[in-house]
Amino acid sequence: QKEVEQDPGPLSVPEGAIVSLNCTYSNSAFQYFMWYRQYSRKGPELLMYTYSSGNKEDGRFTAQVDKSSKYISLFIRDSQPSDSATYLCAMISNAGKSTFGDGTTLTVKP
Amino acid sequence: EAGVAQSPRYKIIEKRQSVAFWCNPISGHATLYWYQQILGQGPKLLIQFQNNGVVDDSQLPKDRFSAERLKGVDSTLKIQPAKLEDSAVYLCASSLRQGQGNEQFFGPGTRLTVL
């Protein structure tokens, strides 16, 4: 069993929809939680970073962490065609090691 | 600020050949990472350097993969001999420091195809 499991997708939504992307994890040593966006043939870029349970908002993006359930989510409001990409969750352990999910591919249709 | 540079962007080789990838991190970043990203999967950490010392290479297939970071700046990752299953994108990333709270900046990757 993988340490980080991510909803596989693919996900296709109409423009303006609210998107929910989810990951679960099994390692209690994970302390820091991130969401990356990866466009085709590009490297991942960091979208959101948080270390505590609760919500963190940045523009149209909200990251949610529930450490008791070992579950994290990324919500995208008013989704745009430019949001079409693969979204990767990633976690850093207290030893500083990063582990990524396998990504969810999102397509936002105009 | 210049980003992480990688070369080549694409490489096609036959199995059992050798190949090398180069990475130039963001200036001043002490920590450098090499990841392997197989199609449809997330990046898997191969090796992590802090300056020119290895912090974690637990997932590096040491019988065929090697990496070095001379002078704590540029890094090279080598595969010798390559296998079909090494076909992947090899991503280099850097951060100011290692561990929690330090954003990793990724390069564009090198796409390797082994025939």
Assign residue B57 a region: left if phi > 0, alpha if psi is -120 to 50, beta otherwise?
A: alpha
pLDDT of residue A2: 86
Cα(B46)–Cα(B25) distance, integer angstroms = 16
Q: What is the pLDDT of residue A46?
A: 92
The set of residues, in sequence order, having a beta carbon less than 8 Å from that of B101 and lying 6+ positions away, is A32, A51
pLDDT, tens digit, for every residue of A61-110? 999 999 999 999 999 999 999 999 999 999 988 888 889 999 999 999 99
Q: How far is A107 from chain B (nearest CA, A)?
A: 15
Residues in A whose CB is inside 8 Å of some CB of B read 4, 6, 31-32, 41-46, 49, 51, 88, 90, 92, 94-103
Q: Which of A49, A92, A100 sits opposite B99 (nearest CB)?
A: A92
- With tokens 């090796």, the residue in question is B47
> What pLDDT sits at residue B1?
62
Take residue A55 and report the two structure tokens written for it: 């919500």
Q: Over 70: is that where the pLDDT of A34 sits?
A: yes
Nearest to A46 among B40, B103, B108 (CB): B103
Residues of chain A contacting B105 with CB distance shorter than 8 Å: 46
SS (H, E, C) chain B: CCCCEEECCEEEECCCCCEEEEEECCCCCCEEEEEEECCCCCCEEEEEEECCEEEECCCCCCCCEEEECHHHCCEEEEECCCCHHHCEEEEEEEECCCCCCCCCEECCCEEEEEC
- Compute the average pLDDT of residues A6-19: 94
What is the model's pLDDT at position B97?
73
Stretch (H or E) spanning A109: strand A104-109
- Asked if residue B113 has pLDDT above 90, the reply is yes
What is the predicted pLDDT for the residue at B96?
87
Q: Is the pLDDT of residue B98 over 80?
A: no
B31-83 pLDDT, tens digit each: 999 999 999 999 999 999 998 899 899 999 999 999 999 888 999 999 999 99
The pLDDT value recorded for residue B71 is: 84
**pLDDT for A21-30, tens place per residue?**
999 999 998 9
| Whether the Cβ atoms of residue B26 and residue B2 lie closer than 8 Å to each other | yes
Query: What distance in Å separates the CA atoms of residue B20 and residue B8, rounded to the nearest whole number?
Result: 9
> In chain B, what percentage of residues exceed pLDDT 90?
83
